Amino acid sequence: MKITQIPMLPFLGLIKLWQKFIAPGLAPRCKYYPSCSHYTFEAIKKYNIIGIFLGAWRIIRCNPFSHGGVDYVPETLKIGRFSLGNVKITEGAR
């Protein structure tokens, strides 16, 4: 665990509490795979504070009017000129 991930531990703990104690008592409702809580957990682990915003955007998209489907946390995240995540450099990119 990186030191930058320590402030995110309360959010990850809340998600785990939701998954263990609250979500099992509710009917399956998420239209996406992985579920919104799993998506948000992975997004926070990968992108820290930005992961919270990714998770919030995913929850907003999970509504009765969406089609749902498979939606994983992106490997790389581009915000303007900046990229976050695993950047792969190919041979022709030099």
Q: Sketch the domain layout of the chain as residue ranges.
A: 3-18+28-93
Q: Is residue 13 scored above 90 in pLDDT?
A: yes
Q: What is the pTM assigned to this prediction? A: 0.80
User: Are the beta carbons of 40 and 59 closer than 8 angstroms?
Assistant: yes
Q: What pLDDT is attached to residue 89? A: 44
Determine the Cα–Cα distance for residues 5 and 91; give it in Å rounded to an integer: 33
Q: Is residue 72 scored above 60 in pLDDT?
A: yes
- Which residues, 6+ apart, have CB-to-CB distance to 8 below 8 Å? 44, 45, 48, 49, 51
Q: Work out the pLDDT band at 10, boundaries 50, 70, 90.
A: very high
Average the pLDDT over 65-83 and give the result.
87
